[in-house]
Amino acid sequence: MSDEMRNVVKEVATFFVTAIITGRRREKVYEFVQLPELYYAGSHGMDIMGPLPQTSNGVKTYGTKTLDGTGNEVVLFQPANDITCIMDEVYRLLEEKARKISGARIEHNKFCVSVHFRCVKEENWLHLAEEVNSVIKSYPNLYATQGRKVLEIRPSILWNKGRALEFLIRTLGFANRNGVFPIYIGDDQTDEDAFKVVARRRHGLSILVSDSVKETHASHSLQDPNEVLKFLQHLVKWRKMSVRS
């Protein structure tokens, strides 16, 4: 994350409760972003960490109170906490498979495992998928989904980025409040679950980030991260003007 983007996200978080929902490991994303005032939902929302009330507009999520790496008090919610040993085992098996396929990379995201094939030759994609399936077929409580040049191995619980968004809206006390307008920005196929949640609410803004035309449940689009930056800057400017008025 650039300093410019980090600064504008920090400003957004001073006016609005702000969360990052990602397929990556929560701790890794926190290292990228380094903003303690945000909510972080890693592993597609299966590992959620949020600040205590004094650092996030007077609201907090339910979960286990603990300390983060810098000693700040936070709350954790982990609906798949009992699956970590299985994911460790699957990660080791997939690491062995990936060594045989040039360009394949395995990423352990604690509650899910990612198989990246962006650097794999296209003629080897099918072989890689077969190797992944040969591993997960022995684990009936796991399943695979596909994102942008990545296969995601996840536990078979009814949980995704959309469920994570619903959880945050509900536990932050926004579910039954008038005037709540969620804005969700995403660029991956796995963000479609969250776009659907916003669409069902009929009151919110879902934004796909893409430089090409795609089938999506999002209501709007931006072309690239630079346009996202400008959008957030305008959002902050609008909020400051509305506060002054």
Nearest alpha carbon to residue 20 among 3, 33, 2, 4: 33
What distance lies between CA 44 and its chain's CA centroid?
5
Whole-model pTM? 0.72
Calpha distance 184→94 (Å, rounded): 32
How many residues make up the chain in this entry? Answer: 245
pLDDT one-digit tens code per residue, 136-184 = 999 988 989 888 899 999 888 778 899 999 988 888 888 888 889 999 9
Calpha distance 188→30 (Å, rounded): 19
pLDDT one-digit tens code per residue, 13-31 = 999 999 999 988 888 899 9
The per-residue pLDDT for 54 is 45
**Residue linked to tokens 């198989």:** 115
Please answer whether residues 77 and 60 qualify as being in contact, where contact means their C-beta atoms are separated by less than 8 angstroms. no
Please answer whether residues 183 and 204 qualify as being in contact, where contact means their C-beta atoms are separated by less than 8 angstroms. yes
Two tokens, residue 153: 């191995």
